[in-house]
Amino acid sequence: MRLLIAAVGRPSGYLGQGVKEYAARLSRYHQVALRSVRDATPLREGQALLELSAGFYRVALHPGGTERSTEELARWSEWLPSRGVSRLAILVGGPSGLSSELLAGCQEQWSLSRLTFPHELALLIALEALYRASSFARGEPYHRAGPA
């Protein structure tokens, strides 16, 4: 699957390193592209994210979205191609959140947790969750807690 991870701003420091690491790991399973848009108003950020993800099945990271376990995320990601989805975009807003226009332009919303995270950390968590679900879907041991 072609996977676009688009976010407002670019994480730096340890978060930036983690994002690069998990994007590289995830690229074992999918064709991954990381893109960013500049910080602005939520409306402008949303417009930029929508333009960047044109032609993709869009999923916004949003607290009101669907929460999924690793196993559910793996099944969902395997279900998408059966519905004709070959291009998936995960959209991560900035500190001010996502505009209603962006949310309306997405096919789904995904919640990582009921907790609130800084957007840069949410990006890293989303990448790790996608990587874990991809390894789980292939029966690889990464998803297991402890020795197998």
Q: Is 36 helix (H, G, I), strand (E, B) or coil?
A: strand
d(CA 25, CA 17): 12
pLDDT tens digits for 51-85? Answer: 999 999 999 999 999 999 999 999 999 999 999 99
What pLDDT does residue 142 have? 67
d(CA 10, CA 22): 15
Measured between its terminal Cα atoms, the distance across the chain in Å is 29
Rg (CA), the chain: 15
pLDDT tens digits for 11-20? Answer: 999 999 999 9
Summarize the confidence of residues 94-103 as an average pLDDT.
Answer: 94
What pLDDT does residue 143 have? 54
The bridge status of strand 57-67 relative to strand 31-37 is unpaired
The CATH architecture that domain 2-143 belongs to is 3-Layer(aba) Sandwich (3.40)
Summarize the confidence of residues 92-112 as an average pLDDT.
Answer: 96
What pLDDT does residue 148 have? 40
What pLDDT does residue 134 have? 94
Task: Read off the pTM.
Answer: 0.92
What pLDDT does residue 144 have? 52
Domain boundaries of the chain, sorted by first residue: 2-143
What pLDDT does residue 140 have? 86
Query: Across the chain, what does the average pLDDT equal?
Result: 93
What pLDDT does residue 132 have? 94
Categorize the per-residue pLDDT at 141 as very low, low, confident or very high, splitting at 50, 70 and 90.
Answer: confident
